[in-house]
Structures are given as C-alpha cells and as structure tokens.
Structure 1
C-alpha cells in the first residue's frame, strides 16, 4: 500500500433524501456507524455518540465507548474535514482528555483527524502520544490500515494504476473506495473509479458519486472499460494573467515594473522573504483601492524572475468555481518545469489541490532551489463564493507542508464591503492567519515628487508653480492610481491646447474626472457602461447579444472605460463603478483650503453686483487689489463649485445666480463640498472625541495627514483656521475663542454671510467685546445719519464687531456697513426687549442674564468666571473682570436692573 497516496485519503459520507434535513440526518447516522466499525477493530463496543455536527468544514462527532475486555472508558473526537485538521482543535481535545484522566487514570483518548493533521498539529500529537498515557491519534493512513486489516475496505491496489485523490466513501449500501484516474499525458483527472471488497459497487453509490463528488467526470466501477456518460463535460477554468501599463500614466492598468515608483523598503523586504524561504508559505497584501497592490505584485514577480525563479500574477476576477485553484497551480508548476526550476515526480497529478500539493512535495527542485511566486490579484472578488474562498484557504494551509521556496500571494482591498450575509469573514481571516500580512501605506512626498517629475518628462516641459502645487494637494492622500488619472487628464488637455494656467484654475477632483469621462460618451455608450457597472464583473455571455457584439462595447473597450478579463467585462476601477451606480465617490477631496471666507465674500459681492460675471482686471480694480489676489480669493470658491472655471473671468454658477436665496444656495453648495473633503472628516473625527478642538491641534493633524504638502507649522495653523471658518459658514462647526466645537440644535447665533455682512477675519471673539454704548450709537447713526453722530474711531471697531456677532449689521455691495433690518427699533429708538432677544442668542448670555435677574448684585468677576466656563475659554483674571463688566452693561441696555454691593468692585 502506497502511504504517500493513502495518507491523503478523505472520508466522505454520501446519502440520499428528499430534503436537506433528511440528508443530514442520514449522513449523521452513517458516520456514526462508520466510526463504530472503526472502534470495533480496536475492541471497543457499545459506542454512545455525544455530539454530532455538520459544519462548513465537514463532519464532527464526539463518542464515548468501553473496551469489551478491560472495560476501560474511551473518549473520542472525530473530525472528517475537507482540509487537514489544525492545532486548536487538537489542543482543545488534549485539555479535555487531561481533565478526564485526572479523575480516571485508566481512561483512553482517541483523536481522529481526516484526512490528517497539519504538520504543526502532527508534531503536537506525536509529543502528546509520548507524554500522555492513553492518548492516540489516527489519520487516514492509519484508519485505512485498520479497516483493511479488518476486511472492511478493499486494497488500494485494486483501483486504477495512475490515480490521485483517494477517497473512502461511506453510504447506506456499504463502504467503498474511489479515486481519480489520471490521463497519462496531462496528469489531470479523466474519470472517477470506484471499487469495493467483495462485489461490484451498487448503482446507487455510483449515482451518489456522480452527483456529489465527480464534478461532471464520468464514474466507472473498477474493471469496467466503459463508463457512464458524464453529467457534464467540465471545462478548464479561464486563467488570465495581470498585465502592466505601457506608460507612466496609463491609469487603467497597474504600473508595469519599469514604471514602478516607491515602496523600496517594503518591496525589498518582501523579495528577500520570497527568495530566501526554505518552506512554502503565503503573504497577504492589503491596502485600500487604488493604493498600488497590483503594481507591487508585478514588481515582486519581476524580482523573482531576476533571481532565476518563476512568477505569475493572476487576475482573480475570472475565478468562478473551486477548480480555478488547481488550474492556477498547474499553470505556475508547468512554467517552473519549463524554466527548469523543478522536475515533476513520476506520480505527478493535477486533478485537485491536494494532489498538486503532494506533487510539489515529491518534486525535485534545482540546487540551490529557485523561488516560485504565484499571486492572486483582485482577490476580493473571490469572497463572493464561500466554497471558492474555502479552496483558497485550504491552499494557504496545505502549501506550508512543502519544503521549498514557494510563495502564494493574495491581494485584496481593505475597504471591501460584504455583499451578502454569508460573507466568509472566517475563511478570509483564516487566510490572513496563515500568511505574512503586509499593509501598504499611501504615497508620501518623495513618491509624489517622483511622479511629478515623470509628468514633466511626459509633457516635455516644467509644470508651472500653481499647477504643480495643485497636483500635490489633490494627491496628498497618496493614491498612485489617482495621480496617474490626473496626469493622463493633464496630458490630454495640453494636447488639446489647454494651457497649464487654465488647468491650474480647474477644480480637479475624482468626481470631476469621472464626469469628464462621461461627457465625451454618446447616450448609447453611457447606457451600456452603466449596464456593465451594475453587474460588474459580468460575463460577456450574460450581456445582450447586441451589446456583446456591437460597436458600442468595442468603443468602450477602446477608450479603456471597461476592461476585458477573460470572458468577463469590468469597469476600469471599482471607485468609478460605484460612481456610475450611485453617484458617490469614495475618495475624499484633499486640496488644501488656504484662504478664509472674508476675501471670497468681498469678491462674490462684486461678481453679483456685475450681474454674475466680471473680468479679473475689473474685479481687481473694484477691490483695489491685484489679479493675483483675485485669483486667490476665487480659488476656494472654484473648488467648492460656487464659481465656474473660465479663463480671465470670475463667474458665479448660473443655478446659484438664479436662486431665490443666493446666500443659502451658496451655503448649501459650500457645505456639500466640505462634507466631501478629508479635512472635514478629520475635524468630525476629532470632535467625536473632544468637546473643543483647538486650532493648533487641528493644524497638527492636518500636517500629519497631508504629507505630500510641504508647509511650515505656522502655515498649517493658518490653513486650519481658514478651513474652520469655512466650516462655520457652512453650519458644520461653531468657532470659539479657543477652537471649534460641534454645532447643536440650541445654537441660535446667526451664521456668517458672504453676499452681505461682515465675516470675522480670524477666530470669532467672544461676545460681548465692549460696553454697548458705541454699538447702540452706531445703530442709531445707521438708522438716522442726520440725527445721530457716528461713534468715535476707538469705539467704532468694537461696535462693528459686536453688532456683526449679533447679526444687526451687514455690508453692502460697496463694502459699506448698513443695517440688516429694523427689528430692533421702535419709534426710532432701540427697544430693550427686542435687543435682549437678539443678545440672548449669543452663547452664555441667556444664562448670564438669568443669573443677574436672580441676583442683581452679582459681581463682574463672578459673572466673568461663569461666562468663561460657559464658553470653555482660558482667560486671565483681568479678562474675566472686563467680560463681567461688559455683560452687566449689556444687561442694563436690555432692560435688566443691576446693582452692586458696596464691597464689590465698581463697573
């Protein structure tokens, strides 16, 4: 008997039934009978099954029995799996057995693992058999020996001469053996052969093998020349190798090794592990979509081939059934034989994953051994099928038994989402646990700079400063694919005659590029593209005949908006597919917001006054500034989608100009843009952990996240403050003296305005900032300039600041301060009750007024301390004293009576 063959034997229980539950019940009963026969060969009788489970791995059975001669008790666990049994299950049984033996030192323990234990588990079992009296382990080889000695099984030699995949089949008609008969040339399975000890295999058993085991191959009884007609003729799975790009900016394909950039330390470390390993193993390469996983494995393949080995990178999107795995393994082995990396053994077989692993274990490798590398790319598509995922999982565990430098690589994105409730998380985690896991980081400043230089080389000229800076910012997230997409766009636009200056003014982002892709398509091309996206990857045979054979699909393939992978069609990138299906873009915008809303508001008011569009020179003249300043003012507004990108003009988007409430329409547009921005996500994450986030804190996080942007720490503070002011304008956060905080439903302070009203130059100052006298005087002056004088120069600035905070003044198109309304007036005078309603909208003022009404003699310092705490500020005692005085003064202006004790400090 050939131990190498029999040691891999599987035990399969097959039964018929009218329902799934009936079949399971029958299989359970048959497996119990099989184990009873096995135990009987060892003298154990009257077995009592304690637990029977059918899992995705196979059958589990716990049994207790007593020896018919010694009456000693046996506890037994049986695991009949599709793959070798791993250490944790054995360890669990050993613990259970040790506890039982502590109570009864005559008890015996038997662990049955089918087909066998993994090498690590086998080593542990051997140690346990030497140290634990009464413990024994049985695998398929030992079981076949015992059953053949007891005349339960026939000899393996009665089966086909060239065979693989030995299987013990348990049925209600008896126990039979089966194996794949191999084609002498291809060494692939040609048919299944089954035989029994005393008679022909019953016809029902043949039918069971056809239905559940043969995968379409014919099934014959040993000694019979003619077999049954196969249920189906199995076709070989389609194996497609991943192709690299032909240029630096061919974004539809991963970078070929000659265009590979960065990852030097990681790539070198992985190559050393792949070249120098003595035992086969697997690696998992994880990263988000577009971070360069495919490019890295192509680079590793090239490195392996330079070392004299062989490598293949396979696109997993064509994987549809479990036969894909042995087909891929056969591909790399045949290539290794062709390159004289190894020689096949006489017993070589390619009928199944198990037979291929045995073939590699018995193969003759060159000396010194040269590495083999097989990479499965786009692996997240495999997770749609749990049976297929299980086959890959088994591969990751089985290859560890091979003493040779073979590496299997799995690459999948970490932002993969489960498609169904049956998503195989456990199988995915098994693959990771069996592998060396490598996490890709996004590109840093050095890699982005290298790409910028390559873009300049492709352009044949230097990038202008603004466009270069924009590209750094747009690609600050470090996504290689996104930079290549931008680079291809710039090259195409320059070929069309667009200048770099005009490109620098465009609001480039992933959404804009996708919209550009669609804009050049006809309606029929868009329809076919969306049809493919909804089912991608979709088999060509599943498309309508007119679509699959028409010029429209050919056009989309030519434009590289869809790609053909074997017999399937897929959209060139999954983020583009998501955009086609639901309009969302998972990539956050990452341009740096540099300028505060103040200048943008001044520019917008000029644009609106000119009817929605104004030339840059005219805008500069109206604002008494330069064209460069106008460009800077308009920069953020273009990014937010408020201004359109026109050469030498500043134009408000038509839908915003025609809106009945332009201010709120602009605010909504800005809010929508900010919510897509990475800066907003960072701010929101920080505010979930802290009530108040300081501007320096936010700036430090921005500097760490936007690694491709070179800026000093002071500049990051400016950028952080500017973005916070834009977020406050959009109603996303509230600015305080010491940072930003979340907006709440109770916030009643008015939001800033761009088309009218003053916007704070820096962080909003706490209210009140001064006594109310100058502010009330300015209100009266604006209401009746002839009857009331303007406040003094010293009081004017504080009056404007406080009235702006209250929302009582705006600025008109000429930048002049005007009343925002007359609601605070009554018969030409400021009405205290109405003023109080407005003042109490400011943070902390309602509580301060209530405290004063409860205790009119409350001191300024006490009021200041309470107000500081309400605002979460950090003030010196002098600041708290001043704030308390101002609050008392505003309280009197609002009609609240105040008084001081003689011992209190005076207002």
Structure 2
C-alpha cells in the first residue's frame, strides 16, 4: 500500500504542506502527541517539534512526502546528526514512500544497537502509518473485498493508495485490463463507501495523484465480462525496425553494422557494473546529432545481447517511441519487455506479471518480485526507448512524456538487475522552459551518457567495404575518396551517398562516369522529390508536417494507394499505427528545403600558396588533366593530386573523370575571390567551430591548439609530429580566411569578416613591426571615418579638414580604407558589417600590439 499527498496542480506549496501536516497530525494524535512547533516547511518535507500529552516528552519528527524517489540512507544519517546535535530525546522519520535498500540496511543496523540507543529513533513507512491510522479509527482497512465484488475479480485490481486530498481521505485502486491499469475505483477511507459522486471524482482526478491519467468513472462490471476483460491485450508496442537489405534507409541490420566498438563496450561494461552492484545508476542515455546511428547502435546492442555468449546473461528490449499515442504505451512497453524476457528464460518463470502500481510500476508487487529474481540467476534486463525526443515534439504526447519520465525516475531509485535506456537527439530544439529540458538535467546524477561521435575514416571505409560486397566490385579509388570526404564522418550522409551510387551502378552506369566533383545530399533529396507525383508529394508533406501521425488520418486524406507507394519507396515508415518520414533529416528538408549544417572535417594536405599555383591556371570552360597541370605549374604529379583533393573539397575546382576546371563558386580567378570561396568552407569547419565555442581562451599556444584538434578528431591516430603539422597548417589557412591572427607566437581567434591575401598579410606583418602610436585622437578619427564614408573616396592631394590627414593614415593602417590610384577608397565590405562605426574603430584598434 502507498500514501500520496495529492493537491490541485495549481496549488501552492503551503497547501500541500498543510495536507502533509494534517496527515502527520492524525498519526501523532494517535500516539498522544501534540505539535508544539513547526521547524521547517517545504511542501514535501516538514520538520516538527512535538510533545507527549501525558509524559511531556519532546520528540523531533521529520516528515517526507516524496513521490518518485525512495528514502535513502543519507536522510537517516542526517536524522541521527540532528538527534545528537540538538540533543532531542527521540527522533521520528515519517515517510509516505518506501525506504531504499541502503536505508533498510541502516534501519536494521540501528535496531540491533542496545535498547536504550535503538529506541531513540523510530521509522514509519507507508504501511506503518496506515496501520496506525486504522488502529486509531481514523480510517478503515482498504476495501479489497468490496472492490472485488464490484469488478468481479481480484485479478483486475491494482495496489491500493491512500489519497490525502483537500476533499478528504480516500482509498483508490487502479483496475487492470490486459495487465495494465486503465480505470480507478475510489472509496471514502473513513467508512469504505464507494465514491459515486461524479463531481467529487472529477475533483480528485484533477489532483496531481499518480492515478490522474486514468478514468475515475468506472461503471459496475458484469461478472460474465470478467474473462473478456482479463483477456484484453495491452496496446501494440513497436520495436526498432531494421532494414531488410543493406540499401534500406532504416537502421542498419546488425550484420551490416560497423564500428562503434568503444560505444558498445561502454554500454556492456555498464550492464556488468549493475550486475556486480558497483554502480547506483540504472539509466543510460545514447545521445548524438541526427543521423549519427543511435537506432542502429541500439539494434546492434540487442543483437549482441542475444549471441551465444550473452543470451542467458543480458536481455534488451528496444522500443520505437514514435508509435506512442497515449501514456499506456509506456506501461505496455515495460510489461511486454518483462514478459518477453520471462519467456526467454530470464527470472522466475511462474510469476504472473501485473502492473498494479501506476505511480511506480517497478514497485508493483509481482514485478518487484520478478525483478529481484534476476539477481540469483545473474541476469539483467534493459528496456530501451528510441527516438525519445519525439515525446516532447507534440503537445498531445505530453502525457506520454510524463509517464516515461515517471518510469525513468522509478528506475533511478531502485537497485536491481534492471535498467532503462533512451536515445536522445542532441540537435533537437528544446526550450529552456520545456519540462524535457529540466528532466534532462534532473537525470544528470542518475544516468550514464554515451555521445556518438562522427565516424573515423577507418569506420567510413568499413561501410564502403560492405558497399563493395553488395555491388560485387571494387570502387574506383577516387570514388571511395569522394565518399569518405563528402560524408565528413556522418553515418547518415555516408549511407545516403552510398545508396545513391549503389542505385546508379545497379542501373548499369559505369564507375568512371560517376567520378563527379562532389556528392551533394541536397540535390539527392531534391531528386527523390522530383520522382513523386503531385498526390505523393502532397501526402509526403502532410506526413512531414504532422509526424508522427496516425496512418488512418493520412489514408482518409490521400488514399491507401498513394500511402502504399511512399512506404514501398521507403520514404515513409510505419511504426504501429503511426507514420513518419524515413529520416528526420529528410523530414526537415521537406518542410524547409534545407539540410542540416554539416561541419567540414576535411584536413588539407597543402597550403594556400600551393593551391593558388594550380587554381590560377583553371578556367570555367577548359578542362585540364593532371599531366597538363604538371606542365603548366612544374609541380610533380603526386603534388598535383594532393592539391587537387584540396581544391575540390574547398569548392574552388571541379574534378570530373580526372579533369579539372574552375568551380562556378569562383566568379573571377584571383587570390581574393578564391580565398572568399575557401573562407565559406572554413566558416563551417569543425576546427573553426571548436575555436569559436572555446572563445574564452582568446589566446592559443600551438600546444593548446594541437589538443583542441585532437578533441575534434578523437578517432584519428597520428604521431605527435603529424598532429603538429596539421595544426599549424590549419592555423595558416584560418589566418588567410580571417578567423585567426598571429601575435607574439600565439594565435588569437577573431572573425574579421573578410579574407586576407598573402600580399595584405605581408604588408600587415611589416606594419605590425612598428608599434602603433596614434597621430590623431579617437574622436577625430571617428569624425574622419564618417566623413570619408559619406564621400566614398577622397583624393590624396585634396584639401581636407584640419587633422583629417593623420586620421586617414590611422584608417589606412586599420584597413578600413585603402590607397588606390592616388585616392583613399572606403572598404565597403568591411564597413557594411558594422552598424556602429565606433565599434568598427574600436575592434580595429583592439587588434594592435601594445607595449
């Protein structure tokens, strides 16, 4: 039996505290104590000083009205400290929830102490509180016989809860259908009469009791219907679906899964620590951006748990949360997971599993007994929810989220061979006010987290090896290189690009004809859309807008044939009765026309001067071979190939069938325009992003930058010399692209909003050799800046206001104006980036060396 202090959801802390005090007051009155003083009051916690009516003995009473967490040993240790420090004659702990495993051990040790010391502490759990209230005639015992008579079978009755509400004390119990709670029977606790006042039942249902997701209006059930009700099935639970073939867009089949060895080992090590009781945690989270392979990893974990070595030790039940339509989905998932594990030889086989406790389902009598039986067999069960972020994507799923949250907190409070896992998409938008945001941080002390990183080159190549087996031929070296480089370590992107090539090769296209300059996922998504009819496109957009959406809603609007066509094309997937787009990334494209920003992970093998030596020979119309470039640049063939990779990845050149031409992204082939195109790529580079996020370290030594690069590429294994070479080369690229500048041997991150040519860099270094001594005041320089901006340009020999000549020399040094054909010309690109001219001047001055 349980006790819940239940108030209206809008009630104040004081109202909850008053109810808690009224409950404890009745318990104390039954023991002949009066409350003397209220010491502390927080709504779910109450500390009282009480005095015996006869003996006058004063005792200290701590009251805890927790809901989703058990009493731990630390609370009891603190109680002992208060008893000793305040020199109270006695101390009580009154709790409406059960004591945890460690707390029970503490109580046993305390009761074994000498009688004089042992009697100084008293511990009241829910059953003892209820028995005391029954003995003092405040309430009657729970009306099990009356309830059984009403619904026809004791097997349809869940666990009793004593509800302490603003409307009085009530006995409430859920009724069971198909093993899960559906309705509630409610009785007045003082006389055990059935509550049939619908207005009162509505008020009780609106409190924050754990039963409030169930119906409180349960009609009398004809006994002839009992067998029919007992046979009802729980709601359909959908497990993670893997692809039927390598080329299927759904999560990878276990036999196609590659890499993630450390992630798999980490999760199974966590399972082992649970069985060894060397961790108090029972929750694990698999996180990562969209398309990192979280679902595929869960499918692989399940597969590994069922292999010959593990099949009697670990059982994993993976659930697709997108099929959820109501809170009963969570309870059904738990019940089905445990029953399936039981059928597979896990735990005691003769226990009939029934979810009788709605608020804390793992504390249901039969389930608790079953889970405890796992320890003796050295077995572990894991229930994993995939696509967890879907629960807070739609308001109608909020109740499902709350039920899942309650189950996770319940799991966090127990110490048995059972754990819960969930996959959480880290690039989803969760507002800081959303309950999911608080929930994530609330669980931080109770979970272990494994964040999936992008694939290493070796993992990407392992995927391509499977691709080669599918097409039964080796990929052209350049095609393999393009796949690895273009996918940037993102599993979803590599899969999409590989399937694209797979379909082309299956249709008889020669690999040499597929050696395109780059593989663009947006164009592939566009191609997917262009093959659809108007009806299919309309249907697809409708599903994207409403996903996850009930399939019958779509059939009513679009018809069964249109929907079947989209499912057959693998553009839409069905999870139970719910429909969704095959990838959330494709769904985003359908809704916005955009694909996620993909950080460039490419590490250049040459420097800019080498690239420029080759690019300056390219044009839009002429295609040059490697040999022709060798002749024109006098560089070796190997060097040209390395430079060619850099040119293509930076988007300044096209490579088709081994021939190079100038990219359309470079309008004019000069140093500045080429750098502008490359700057655009580096603005989305993983190293630039890491620098920006770590901008608190404004000054970076080379050794610190090497460590930052290692963190950005955790899977790459290089010698220290190689890490140093890559780091220095990247810094030089970022300097020319206007993201870094060198100062006294250290690098400073500051986005200057423009590129810096080699000539400008040389000139700047020459000027920086001279310490800046301003020949004009800041105010006068600001005046001159406004003056020349209005004029756009000024002749050097033109007459100028007094002092402006010196001010213009400062603006020239700051590269706000440039000297050209005996005129000072405003750098409009730089000026246009600042709404405040004073800010432009200040930023420029701030970059100068100081004595």
User: Normalised by the shorter chain, which TM-score bucket?
Assistant: 0.7 to 0.9
**Alignment pair present for 1:469 and 2:481:** yes
**Alignment pair present for 1:691 and 2:699:** yes
**Alignment pair present for 1:325 and 2:330:** yes
What's the offset of the Cα at 1:236? 5.0
Partners in 2 of 1:133 and 1:389 — Cα distance?
44
Tell me if the contact between 1:698 and 1:720 (Cα under 8 Å) persists in the aligned partners: yes
Name 2:85's counterpart in structure 1.
102
Name 1:334's counterpart in structure 2.
339
For residues 11-69 of structure 1, what are the alpha-carbon distances to aligned partners after superposition, in whole Å with 9 as ceiling and x for unaligned?
24357xxx945x98766544433322121011112565555545xxxx44444432211
Which of 151, 160, 170 is the aligned partner of 2:147? Answer: 160
Based on CA coordinates, which of the two structures has the bigger radius of gyration?
1
Partners in 1 of 2:562 and 2:756 — Cα distance?
50
Partners in 2 of 1:722 and 1:362 — Cα distance?
62
1:320–1:351: structure 2 CA closer, same or farther, 3 Å change rule? farther
1:509–1:138: structure 2 CA closer, same or farther, 3 Å change rule? farther
**Alignment pair present for 1:179 and 2:173:** yes
Tell me if the contact between 2:187 and 2:195 (Cα under 8 Å) persists in the aligned partners: no
What's the offset of the Cα at 1:81? 3.1
Q: Where do residues 602-621 of structure 1 align in structure 2 (5 Å cutoff)?
A: 602-608=613-619, 612-617=620-625, 620=629
Q: Where do residues 500-579 of structure 1 align in structure 2 (5 Å cutoff)?
A: 500-501=511-512, 503-508=514-519, 514=525, 517-518=528-529, 529=540, 532-540=543-551, 545-547=556-558, 549=559, 553-579=563-589
For residues 645-681 of structure 1, what are the alpha-carbon distances to aligned partners after superposition, in whole Å with 9 as ceiling and x for unaligned?
5556545455754x8x987665544322211122322
Q: Where do residues 308-707 of structure 1 align in structure 2 (5 Å cutoff)?
A: 308=312, 310-319=315-324, 321-343=326-348, 348-353=353-358, 354=360, 357=363, 358-363=365-370, 365=373, 368=377, 370-382=379-391, 388-389=400-401, 391-396=403-408, 398-399=410-411, 405-419=417-431, 421-440=433-452, 442-444=454-456, 446-474=458-486, 477=489, 479-496=490-507, 498-501=509-512, 503-508=514-519, 514=525, 517-518=528-529, 529=540, 532-540=543-551, 545-547=556-558, 549=559, 553-579=563-589, 583=594, 585-608=596-619, 612-617=620-625, 620=629, 623=632, 633=643, 635-644=645-654, 646-647=656-657, 650-654=660-664, 657=667, 667-684=675-692, 689-691=697-699, 693-694=701-702, 698=705, 702=709, 705-706=712-713
- Return the TM-score normalized by structure 1: 0.69
Name 1:795's counterpart in structure 2.
none
What's the offset of the Cα at 1:146? 0.2
Partners in 2 of 1:125 and 1:376 — Cα distance?
36
Partners in 2 of 1:530 and 1:642 — Cα distance?
35
Tell me if the contact between 2:488 and 2:600 (Cα under 8 Å) persists in the aligned partners: no
For residues 726-776 of structure 1, what are the alpha-carbon distances to aligned partners after superposition, in whole Å with 9 as ceiling and x for unaligned?
43443333467957544576x99x8328xxxx799xx99942899xxxxxx
Q: Where do residues 869-888 of structure 1 align in structure 2 (5 Å cutoff)?
A: none
What's the offset of the Cα at 1:128? 5.5
Tell me if the contact between 1:194 and 1:221 (Cα under 8 Å) persists in the aligned partners: no
Name 1:116's counterpart in structure 2.
98
- Return the TM-score normalized by structure 2: 0.73
Name 1:135's counterpart in structure 2.
121
1:520–1:75: structure 2 CA closer, same or farther, 3 Å change rule? farther
Partners in 1 of 2:381 and 2:147 — Cα distance?
32
Partners in 1 of 2:118 and 2:37 — Cα distance?
24
1:554–1:72: structure 2 CA closer, same or farther, 3 Å change rule? same
**Alignment pair present for 1:87 and 2:72:** yes
For residues 600-634 of structure 1, what are the alpha-carbon distances to aligned partners after superposition, in whole Å with 9 as ceiling and x for unaligned?
445554445xxx32121596498355887766555
For residues 677-705 of structure 1, what are the alpha-carbon distances to aligned partners after superposition, in whole Å with 9 as ceiling and x for unaligned?
223224545775253554x8756754664
Partners in 2 of 1:88 and 1:426 — Cα distance?
26
Which ranges in structure 2 are unaligned for 5 or more consecutive residues? 149-153, 226-231, 770-792, 799-804, 819-846
Tell me if the contact between 2:179 and 2:353 (Cα under 8 Å) persists in the aligned partners: no
What's the offset of the Cα at 1:113? 1.5
1:679–1:648: structure 2 CA closer, same or farther, 3 Å change rule? same
Partners in 2 of 1:505 and 1:710 — Cα distance?
29
1:667–1:27: structure 2 CA closer, same or farther, 3 Å change rule? same
Counting matched residue pairs gives 750
Tell me if the contact between 1:285 and 1:293 (Cα under 8 Å) persists in the aligned partners: no
Tell me if the contact between 2:355 and 2:367 (Cα under 8 Å) persists in the aligned partners: no
Tell me if the contact between 1:34 and 1:170 (Cα under 8 Å) persists in the aligned partners: yes
Which ranges in structure 1 are unaligned for 5 or more consecutive residues? 1-5, 228-233, 771-820, 827-832, 847-868, 874-907
Partners in 1 of 2:644 and 2:638 — Cα distance?
10
Name 1:194's counterpart in structure 2.
187
What's the offset of the Cα at 1:520? 5.0
For residues 809-835 of structure 1, what are the alpha-carbon distances to aligned partners after superposition, in whole Å with 9 as ceiling and x for unaligned?
xxxxxxxxxxxx999999xxxxxx99x
Partners in 2 of 1:30 and 1:837 — Cα distance?
78
1:29–1:767: structure 2 CA closer, same or farther, 3 Å change rule? closer
Q: Where do residues 140-155 of structure 1 align in structure 2 (5 Å cutoff)?
A: 140-155=126-141
* TM-align CA RMSD: 4.9
For residues 850-876 of structure 1, what are the alpha-carbon distances to aligned partners after superposition, in whole Å with 9 as ceiling and x for unaligned?
xxxxxxxxxxxxxxxxxxx98799xxx
1:119–1:510: structure 2 CA closer, same or farther, 3 Å change rule? farther
Partners in 1 of 2:718 and 2:79 — Cα distance?
61
Partners in 2 of 1:825 and 1:599 — Cα distance?
40
What's the offset of the Cα at 1:540? 4.6
Partners in 2 of 1:171 and 1:589 — Cα distance?
58
Tell me if the contact between 1:595 and 1:633 (Cα under 8 Å) persists in the aligned partners: yes
What's the offset of the Cα at 1:319? 3.9
For residues 222-274 of structure 1, what are the alpha-carbon distances to aligned partners after superposition, in whole Å with 9 as ceiling and x for unaligned?
999999xxxxxx99544210022334453x32222222323445535644664
What secondary structure is seen at the aligned counterpart in 1 of 2:137?
coil
